[in-house]
């Protein structure tokens, strides 16, 4: 498979290009118009798998239930979400409905119509409290759940609304807390495409002003995220797991890397006085699953 990846694949994440192990599976996906859901759908169809995309509104419980009843999937991947922080802040009620109630509606519909299916529930690293200078540099799955944004609040609510239903009805599921990701199809206002757009507008050797350039992010290419999701699905992994690279890059480092990829050099300078923070995954559990290594106690 030919890929266009802005960020290198971590050494513990092998490419997942052979989907023959999913032969006979019926796969249902919400958020198929988004980056992650779209990649999964494309790969699945290329492998000849039966793919059903939900094209309605996950806030509509009856529509979700009708879709899953008709699709009768063996696996469900719930990616639908309202994501950009600014958009979430503009319409917090809508964001909560999509991100929290949407997860609940998928869980409830599975309890009613797909009780033997496996669910991948896409959550976010934003459910964690970002670390600050002097604090531990990575967060594991048992870290403090203290979202700093309303987006994180809504995603954590989705976990908490869906999990009791899934457990009550014995539905196997995995919550993937996805850290930062990007893709060549992603558009502003996300970090990487926003930086690329600004880099294109300045001359070689010019100055790029960035808010909080020392903030640290754990970022993967979206293709790598789907490699991980497919590996978890193949194993029908259960429980909550961080999905990240396990390494951090400052925003300034990300900007300079992107500039190099476009054949430019830039000088990154701070703009404003936003305090730095970090959000980097402890990937011990993920390494254990993907590589068969023992997880640290």
Contact (CB, 8 A) for 177 and 240: yes
Q: What is the pLDDT of residues 161-215, one digit of tens each?
A: 999 999 999 999 999 999 999 999 999 999 999 999 999 999 999 999 998 899 9
Q: Is this prediction's pTM over 0.85?
A: yes
Say if CB 170 and CB 180 are below 8 A apart: no
Question: For 238-260, what is each residue's pLDDT tens digit?
Answer: 999 999 999 999 999 999 999 99
Are 244 and 218 within 8 A, CB to CB? yes
Q: Mean pLDDT in the chain?
A: 93
Mean pLDDT of 269-280: 88
* Longest CA pairwise span in the chain (Å): 59
Residues 59-111 have pLDDT tens digits of 999 999 999 999 999 999 999 999 988 899 999 999 999 999 999 999 999 99
Each domain of the chain, given as residue ranges in start order, spans 20-183+220-247+282-291
Q: Angle at which helices 102-113 and 61-71 pack, to 10 degrees? A: 40
Q: How confident is the model at residue 194, as a pLDDT?
A: 95
CATH number for domain 20-183+220-247+282-291, candidates 3.90.550.10, 3.40.50.300, 3.40.640.10, 3.40.50.720? 3.40.50.720
Q: Give bridge partners of residue 131 from the DSSP assignment.
A: 278
Tokens 């789907």 belong to which residue?
226
Residue 75's pLDDT is what?
A: 98
Convert the pLDDT of each residue in 114-154 to its tens digit. 999 999 999 999 999 988 766 667 999 999 999 999 999 99
* DSSP-assigned beta bridge partners for residue 269: 209
- Give the pairing type, strands 216-217 and 249-250: antiparallel
């Amino acid at each position: 498979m030919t890929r266009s990846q802005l960020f290198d694949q971590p050494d513990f994440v092998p490419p997942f290009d052979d989907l023959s192990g999913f032969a006979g599976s019926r796969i249902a996906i919400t958020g198929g118009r988004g980056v992650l859901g779209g990649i999964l759908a494309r790969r699945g169809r290329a492998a000849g798998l039966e793919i059903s995309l939900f094209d309605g509104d996950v806030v509509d419980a009856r529509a979700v239930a009708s879709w899953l009843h008709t699709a009768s999937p063996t696996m469900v991947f719930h990616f639908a979400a309202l994501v950009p922080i600014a958009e979430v802040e503009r319409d917090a009620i809508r964001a909560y409905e999509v991100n929290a109630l949407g997860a609940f509606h998928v869980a409830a519909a599975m309890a009613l119509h797909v009780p033997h299916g496996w669910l991948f529930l896409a959550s976010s690293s934003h459910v964690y409290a970002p670390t600050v200078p002097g604090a531990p540099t990575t967060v594991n799955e048992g870290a403090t759940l203290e979202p700093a944004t309303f987006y994180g609040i809504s995603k954590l609510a989705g976990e908490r609304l869906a999990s009791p239903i899934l457990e009550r009805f014995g539905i196997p599921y995995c919550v993937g807390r996805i850290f930062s990701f990007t893709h060549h199809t992603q558009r502003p206002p996300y970090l990487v495409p926003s930086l690329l757009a600004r880099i294109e507008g300045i001359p070689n050797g010019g100055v790029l002003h960035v808010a909080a350039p020392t903030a640290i992010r754990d970022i993967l290419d979206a293709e790598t995220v789907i490699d991980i999701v497919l590996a978890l699905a193949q194993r029908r992994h259960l429980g909550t797991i961080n999905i990240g690279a396990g390494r951090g890059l400052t925003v300034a480092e990300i900007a300079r890397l992107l500039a190099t990829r476009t054949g430019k050099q830039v000088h990154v300078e701070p703009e404003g006085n936003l305090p730095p923070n970090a959000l980097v995954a402890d990937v011990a559990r993920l390494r254990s699953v993907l590589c068969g290594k023992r997880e640290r106690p």
